[in-house]
C-alpha cells in the first residue's frame, strides 16, 4: 500500500509541475513550492513537461 501511495504522490507532483509550467510559473517558483533547488526541480521534472524536452541551455531554466 505504501508503494502505491508513493507512486500516486509522484504522479500528482508531475501533474502539478506540468500545470505550473503551462501556467508560466518559473522553475524557481516551482522549486520553492517543492522546497528544493531550481536545478534539482528542473532535473527531476523536465522530462515530464512536454515543452521542456525541446528546450536546451540556460533558457530552459527560466
Range of the domain at 7: 2-51
Domain count, the chain: 1
User: What mean pLDDT comes out for the span 6-26?
Assistant: 95
Answer whether residue 28 is part of any domain: yes
**Quick count: other Cβ atoms within 10 Å of Cβ 52?**
18
- How long is the chain? 62
Answer whether residue 23 is part of any domain: yes
Name the pTM for this structure: 0.76
Answer whether residue 13 is part of any domain: yes
Answer whether residue 56 is part of any domain: no
Give the pLDDT confidence of 20-45 residue by residue, as tens digits.
999 999 999 999 999 999 999 999 99
Answer whether residue 47 is part of any domain: yes
Answer whether residue 10 is part of any domain: yes
pLDDT, residue 50, reads 87
**Contact yes or no for 53/47 (Cβ under 8 A):** yes
Helix/strand/coil for 56: coil
Helices within the chain (DSSP H only): 2-22, 27-34, 38-45
Amino acid at each position: 500500500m505504501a508503494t502505491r501511495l508513493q507512486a500516486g504522490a509522484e504522479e500528482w507532483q508531475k501533474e502539478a509541475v506540468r500545470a505550473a509550467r503551462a501556467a508560466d510559473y518559473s522553475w524557481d517558483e516551482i522549486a520553492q513550492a517543492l522546497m528544493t533547488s531550481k536545478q534539482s526541480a528542473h532535473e527531476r521534472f523536465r522530462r515530464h513537461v512536454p515543452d521542456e524536452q525541446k528546450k536546451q541551455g540556460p533558457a530552459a531554466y527560466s
